């Protein structure tokens, strides 16, 4: 999968508007063009991806347009069309924290679903009722699938989010969404059981309690629903992520990096063109870069892939030794986070 940032995490917009934005009027004299991907940059990226076999293969599987908030990019529909020439499977991730159907952000999302792109969301309980829920009702009419990410701070928080989704699908067409309700019901029962037995359980006890529960179902008519439960982490003001997740503070959260093993499963491409083979680039602060898609030639990119992979391999071995020698958390000179092995 290629995960492509079409926006920086600027945090300057207030829901539907770029209120304090330095790229657009009235402050455009202080432009920071690389905050928003342009269609020209997207075209340049696509031309380059076609020439780099590992990237071309990842693109064919899936392209995920994200950010920052992807729907905030005023050119997102055009950008979607550009990436669609590489893959039939282009999705867009949004927070769906949008004021109303009159918002330009919403209009862009509707356009993309009309072009057969898929919208996926992260659930935010604080804005669920007022903003996400009414628009999610529309989203599931506009497309034939949905992935919902649930970022949870504790197991009770996760249970609350499952309940929110269950209540939501109970209000929709029950015939169509009965498999979704079945999946959420099973999720709820297993999780409740874990919480009742052992509310402060370790992560392996949680996983054992949840068992072989899958995370997706197909509904009559072909609608596919998937739910991803993702633990959240404390991130320091300096942007450094903790080694333990909030729901399982007793366990070091190891990342078995596939790039270390010579396999790239995901490549994140920032709007600046920088590439890292990882999904949480902002918080993990992995330093070895796999080149710059906008600047480097295909030959240079492949050379950097090889060099950075070797660097990561060496760093991961050092991380393992540090953990064995009771020195977890120590950063190695290769610049990969201490929990990557
Ligand atoms: S070393 Fe860690 S942060 Fe870097 S790409 Fe691998 S998993 Fe991601």
DSSP state of 331: P
Residues 6+ apart with CB under 8 A from 44: 293, 294
Task: Please tell me if the CB atom of residue 257 comes closer than 6 angstroms to any atom of ligand 1.
Answer: yes
> Hey, where are the domains in the chain?
2-296
* The pLDDT of residue 21: 61
Q: Do residues 272 and 34 lie in contact, with contact meaning Cβ atoms separated by under 8 Å?
A: yes
Task: Please tell me if the CB atom of residue 276 comes closer than 6 angstroms to any atom of ligand 1.
Answer: yes
* Cα(220) to centroid(ligand 1), Å: 39
CB neighbourhood size of 321 (10 A): 12
* The pLDDT of residue 279: 73
* Cα(336) to centroid(ligand 1), Å: 6
Q: CB burial class (10 A; 0-12, 13-18, 19+) of residue 340?
A: buried
Three-state secondary structure readout of the chain? CEEEECECCCCCCECCECCCCCCCCCCHHHCCHHHECCHHHHHHHHHHHHHCHHHHHHHHHCEEEECCCHHHCCCHHHHHHHHHCCCCCEEEEECCCCCCCCCHHHHHHHHHHHCCCEEEEECCHHHHHHHHHHHHHHHHHHCCEEEEEEEECCHHHHHHHHHHHHHHHHCCCHHHHHHHHHHHHHHHHHHHHHHHHCCCCCHHHHHHHHCCCCCEEECCCCCEEEEEEEECEEECCCCCEEEEECCCCCCECCECCCHHHCCCCCEEECCCCEEECCCCHHHHCCCCCCCECCCCCHHHHHHHHHHHHHHHHHHHHHHHHHHHCCCCCCCCCCCCCCCEC
Task: Please tell me if the CB atom of residue 337 comes closer than 6 angstroms to any atom of ligand 1.
Answer: yes
* Cα(254) to centroid(ligand 1), Å: 10
* The pLDDT of residue 29: 55
Task: Please tell me if the CB atom of residue 42 comes closer than 6 angstroms to any atom of ligand 1.
Answer: no
- Cis peptide preceding 242, ω within 30 of 0: no
* Nearest protein CA to atom 4 of ligand 1, as residue: 286
* The pLDDT of residue 67: 83
Tokens 């120590």, residue located:
330
* The pLDDT of residue 197: 95
**Closest ligand 1 atom, CA of 340?**
2
Q: What is the pLDDT along the chain (341 residues), one digit of tens a residue?
A: 999 999 877 666 666 666 656 555 545 555 556 678 999 999 999 999 999 999 999 999 999 999 888 998 889 999 999 999 999 999 999 999 998 899 999 999 999 999 999 999 999 999 999 999 999 999 999 999 999 999 999 999 999 999 999 999 999 999 999 999 999 999 999 999 999 999 899 999 999 999 999 999 999 999 999 999 999 999 888 778 899 999 999 999 999 999 999 899 999 999 889 999 987 777 788 899 899 999 999 999 999 999 999 999 999 999 999 999 989 889 999 999 999 99
* Nearest protein CA to atom 7 of ligand 1, as residue: 257
* Nearest protein CA to atom 3 of ligand 1, as residue: 286
pTM: 0.91
* Cα(255) to centroid(ligand 1), Å: 7
* Cα(275) to centroid(ligand 1), Å: 12
At the second CATH level, the architecture of 2-296 is Alpha-Beta Barrel (3.20)
């Amino acid at each position: 999968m290629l995960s492509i940032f079409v926006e920086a995490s600027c945090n300057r917009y207030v829901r539907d508007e770029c209120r304090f934005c330095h790229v657009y009027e009235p402050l455009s004299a202080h432009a920071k063009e690389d905050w928003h991907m342009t269609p020209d940059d997207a075209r340049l990226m696509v031309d380059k991806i076609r020439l780099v076999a590992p990237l071309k293969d990842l693109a064919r599987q899936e392209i995920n347009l994200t950010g920052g908030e992807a729907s905030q990019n005023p050119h997102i529909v055009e950008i979607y069309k550009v990436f669609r020439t590489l893959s039939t499977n282009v999705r867009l991730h949004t927070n769906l924290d949008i004021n109303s159907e009159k918002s330009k952000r919403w209009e862009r999302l509707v356009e993309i679903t009309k072009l057969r792109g898929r919208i996926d969301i992260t659930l935010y309980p604080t804005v669920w009722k007022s903003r996400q829920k009414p628009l999610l009702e529309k989203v599931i009419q506009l497309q034939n699938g949905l992935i919902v990410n649930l970022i949870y701070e504790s197991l009770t928080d996760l249970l609350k989010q499952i309940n929110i989704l269950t209540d939501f699908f109970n209000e929709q067409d029950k015939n169509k969404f009965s498999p979704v309700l079945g999946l959420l019901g099973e999720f709820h029962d297993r999780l409740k059981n874990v919480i009742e037995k052992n509310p402060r359980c370790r992560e392996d006890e949680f996983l054992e309690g949840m068992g072989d529960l899958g995370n997706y179902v197909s509904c009559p008519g072909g609608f596919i629903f998937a739910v991803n439960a993702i633990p959240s982490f404390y991130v320091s003001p300096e942007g450094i992520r903790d080694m333990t997740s909030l729901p399982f503070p007793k366990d070091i959260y190891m990342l078995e990096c596939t790039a270390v093993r010579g396999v790239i499963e995901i490549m994140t491409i920032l709007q600046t063109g920088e590439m890292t083979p990882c999904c949480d680039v902002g918080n993990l602060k992995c330093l070895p870069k796999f080149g710059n898609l906008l600047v480097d030639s295909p030959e240079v990119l492949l050379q950097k892939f090889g060099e950075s992979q070797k660097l990561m391999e060496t760093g991961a071995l050092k991380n393992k030794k540090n953990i064995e020698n009771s020195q977890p958390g120590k950063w190695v000179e290769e610049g990969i986070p201490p929990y990557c092995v």
